[in-house]
Homo-oligomer: A and B are copies of this chain.
Amino acid sequence: MRLMTVGSVAFDAIETPFGKTDKIIGGAGTYIAFSSSYFAEEQAIISVVGEDFPQEMLDKLANRGVNLDGLQIKKGEKSFFWSGRYHNDMNSRDTLVTELNVLENFDPVIPSHLNEVDYLMLGNLSPQVQRQVIERLNKRPKLVAMDTMNFWMDIAMDDLKETLKLVDVLIINDEEARQLSGEYSLVKAADKIRSMGPKYLIIKKGEHGALLFHEKNVFFAPALPLEEVFDPTGAGDTFAGGFMGYIASTDDFSFDNMKRAIITGSAMASFCVEEFGTGKLENLTKREIEDRIQEFVQLTNFEMVQSI
């Protein structure tokens, strides 16, 4: 299998200054898989849902080429549910409800025919589950990327640090990088975090873009300035999916190609925030994605011609 994604497939209910949804489809795994499906030709998802999860949505994922053999459907149980409300600036939010449900005892079983993967994307889940997946694979993937969040730093820091030792690329936001490292300066935070295991660190800064750190190299990718951010939910996962999908499809994780992967992830994230939920990510065209990537090229492209 070229790319394996591990992450929640779930329900969300979201309030933003622009509106409010009932239960809609969400989950890190869902966003990652939709986003990477535009790049990686072959991918599987390892996840778990309850009996309440709509078959129609699973069909949509399957139609985008996502292998669901590792997605468990638990009879008589309910899917993970998260509900949150965004503040007016859209940069911060309050969690209103978290119902773990099927995630509470999630045992990430990997079907034997999916047991060799080139690229592994670990969406935000308990660091113990993330580590189990790495350990259960027959061989180590070429590249393992993971997301995590401050919640795990609060309650399972030791576990998290164990998992970080096994990971190549860590993808977190600026606040999480500061908490994980205890450093305010992101440059210092990056040094500390890379000493914990991941050779590559991507720090997402929301509307302010993303930074990639590797050895002495730093790359900065902007976010597209948008008229409105309608719903930021899933933007980080969509970014990760675009990033890892691009890496998997090109089979190249040189620093130069990681830059392209980050621009690609940023472009995908810019679609995600335009609608509630996964709506915008379900039916993009190649042309739309290429045009959006071109907007990033225009946005940042400059050439210094004149010496001072």
Contacts and interface: CB of A to CB of B under 8 A. Distances in A.
A249 to B, nearest CB: 7
Nearest to A190: B225
Contacts of A229: 185
A55 interface: no
A307 B290 CA distance: 8
Tell me whether chain A's interface is mostly helix, strand or loop, or mixed: mixed
A226 interface: yes
A304 interface: yes
Q: Oligomeric state, in number of copies?
A: 2
A222 B209 contact: yes
Contact of A304 (B249, B260, B307): B260
A12 B271 CA distance: 46
B308 A227 contact: no
Interface of A: 38-39, 88-89, 184-188, 205, 208-209, 211, 217-222, 225-229, 246, 249-250, 256, 259-260, 263-264, 286, 289-290, 293, 297-300, 302-308
| 6 residue pairs, one from A and one from B, having the closest CB atoms | A259-B302, A208-B208, A220-B222, A187-B227, A220-B299, A187-B225
Given A220-B299, A297-B304, 17 more contacts: A38-B308, A89-B184, A205-B208, A209-B209, A218-B299, A219-B300, A220-B225, A246-B308, A249-B308, A250-B306, A259-B302, A260-B303, A260-B305, A264-B308, A289-B308, A290-B307, A290-B308
